[in-house]
């Protein structure tokens, strides 16, 4: 039997509010399923593992090479130990986030399933929006370089491919000293690109971009026919994110620009009576709570680059 993919609260067999009350794990299961893979920070950032106190210390722009070259050694000569630069000390702090879904006895008696479904969708959408806002705030770090688009992509002179290539070059040439051509380059390689969903039709209408997909081998990815962002753009994994800044695009080395660390991984409780009594207690209601506590940090900001001005103001 084929597995059915759950992408909304309406998927699966038809149920009633009474069924939901009788199966306390139905709501939390739906919420977790709909949020799994929905957070853009998990596309750009690496999982740094758990933390125990909602706080993570790290070093920003820690060099990836030692201060000295490998030593030439004669026989029996002591191998030197070289101290490396450590980067700027930083601290990232997380806060607990949570929302609940409430089911009343009236909703059960009157079969108001749509109200339950709407609450679940609202919780899911609000969690996603909150996480994207946190990621946007992190990546607006002034240490992350920006380059302007040569021309807005929604104009006839816009050249998305060229602007993206310039951002890739900016990431690839990032170095400790900031001097172009210095051998202390970090050796970053941009392999991810993120943009607002509203930019997808803009790219589909840009002849300079769609010409990249005129080859037979790429026709299945052609945005003019699919209406979707290609899986890869110039060799980079691509994501069209909700609630993303509409006027800019991020190019980055995925998993390097920053990290996330969970004090409390996303969790959702089973439906329980609010008043701890029959019929849901004195308020005649039941609830399911979804909570999480995640820390975000950008420890290698030069592994990313913003392209600004991609649409006309």
The pLDDT tens digits of the residues spanning 87-99 come to: 888 899 999 999 9
| Stretch (H or E) spanning 244 | none
Assess whether pLDDT exceeds 80 at residue 38. Answer: yes
Assess whether pLDDT exceeds 70 at residue 240. Answer: yes
Would you place residue 80 in the very low, low, confident or very high pLDDT band (cuts 50, 70, 90)?
Answer: confident
Average pLDDT over residues 290-299: 97
Domain spanning 146-256+301-308, CATH architecture: 2-Layer Sandwich (3.30)
Predicted local confidence at residue 79, as pLDDT: 87
**Burial (CB count within 10 angstroms: exposed 0-12, middle 13-18, buried 19+), residue 230:** buried
Predicted local confidence at residue 1, as pLDDT: 38
Predicted local confidence at residue 147, as pLDDT: 98
Domain ranges of the chain: 17-64+87-140+263-295, 146-256+301-308
Average pLDDT over residues 271-300: 94
Do domains 17-64+87-140+263-295 and 146-256+301-308 share one topology? The answer is no
Predicted local confidence at residue 267, as pLDDT: 97
Predicted local confidence at residue 191, as pLDDT: 97
146 φ, ψ to 5°?
A: -130, 150
Would you place residue 214 in the very low, low, confident or very high pLDDT band (cuts 50, 70, 90)?
Answer: low
Assess whether pLDDT exceeds 90 at residue 223. Answer: no
Predicted local confidence at residue 4, as pLDDT: 44
Stronger pLDDT, 225 or 312, i.e. the higher one = 312
| Rounded Cα–Cα distance for residues 44 and 260 (Å) | 10
| Rounded Cα–Cα distance for residues 54 and 110 (Å) | 43
| Rounded Cα–Cα distance for residues 106 and 300 (Å) | 53
| Residue-wise pLDDT tens digits, 4-13 | 454 555 665 5
| Rounded Cα–Cα distance for residues 280 and 108 (Å) | 11
Q: Taking CA 299 as the corner, what is the angle to CA 257 and CA 311, rounded to the nearest 5 degrees?
A: 45
CATH number of 17-64+87-140+263-295: 3.30.2400
56 φ, ψ to 5°?
A: -135, 125
Predicted local confidence at residue 31, as pLDDT: 97
Check residue 2 and report its DSSP letter: P
| Residue-wise pLDDT tens digits, 126-154 | 999 999 999 999 999 999 999 999 999 99
Assess whether pLDDT exceeds 70 at residue 178. Answer: no
**Burial (CB count within 10 angstroms: exposed 0-12, middle 13-18, buried 19+), residue 63:** middle
Stronger pLDDT, 230 or 43, i.e. the higher one = 43
On whether the CB atoms of residues 94 and 294 are closer than 8 A, the answer is yes
Predicted local confidence at residue 213, as pLDDT: 67
Mean pLDDT in the chain? 89
pTM reported for the whole predicted model: 0.86
Assess whether pLDDT exceeds 60 at residue 217. Answer: no
């Amino acid at each position: 039997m084929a597995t059915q993919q759950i992408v909304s609260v309406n998927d699966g067999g038809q149920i009633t509010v009474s069924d939901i009350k009788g199966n306390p794990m139905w709501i939390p299961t739906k919420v977790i399923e709909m949020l799994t893979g929905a957070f853009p920070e998990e596309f750009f950032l690496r999982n740094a593992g758990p933390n125990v106190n909602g706080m993570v210390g790290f070093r920003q722009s820690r060099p990836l090479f030692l201060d000295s070259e490998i030593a030439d050694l004669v026989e029996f000569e002591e191998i030197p130990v070289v101290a490396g630069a450590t980067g700027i000390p930083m601290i990232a702090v997380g806060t607990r986030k949570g929302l609940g879904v409430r089911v009343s006895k009236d909703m059960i008696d009157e079969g108001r399933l749509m109200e339950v479904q709407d609450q679940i969708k609202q919780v899911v959408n609000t969690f996603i929006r909150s996480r994207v806002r946190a990621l946007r705030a992190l990546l607006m770090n002034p240490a992350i370089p920006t380059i302007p688009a040569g021309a807005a992509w929604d104009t006839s002179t816009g050249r998305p491919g060229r602007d993206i290539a310039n951002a890739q070059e900016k990431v690839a040439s990032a170095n400790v000293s900031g001097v172009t051509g210095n051998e202390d380059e970090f050796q970053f390689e941009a392999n991810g690109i993120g943009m607002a969903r509203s930019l997808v039709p803009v790219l589909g209408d840009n002849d300079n971009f769609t010409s990249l997909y005129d080859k037979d081998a790429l026709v299945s990815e052609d945005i003019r026919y699919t209406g979707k962002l290609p899986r890869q753009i110039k060799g980079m994994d691509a994501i069209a994110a909700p609630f993303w800044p509409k006027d800019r695009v991020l190019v980055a080395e995925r998993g390097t620009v920053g990290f996330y660390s969970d004090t409390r991984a996303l969790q959702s409780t089973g439906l329980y009576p609010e008043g701890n009594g029959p019929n849901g207690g004195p308020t005649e209601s039941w609830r399911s709570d979804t909570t999480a506590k995640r820390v975000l940090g950008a420890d290698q900001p030069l592994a990313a680059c913003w392209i600004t001005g991609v649409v006309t103001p």
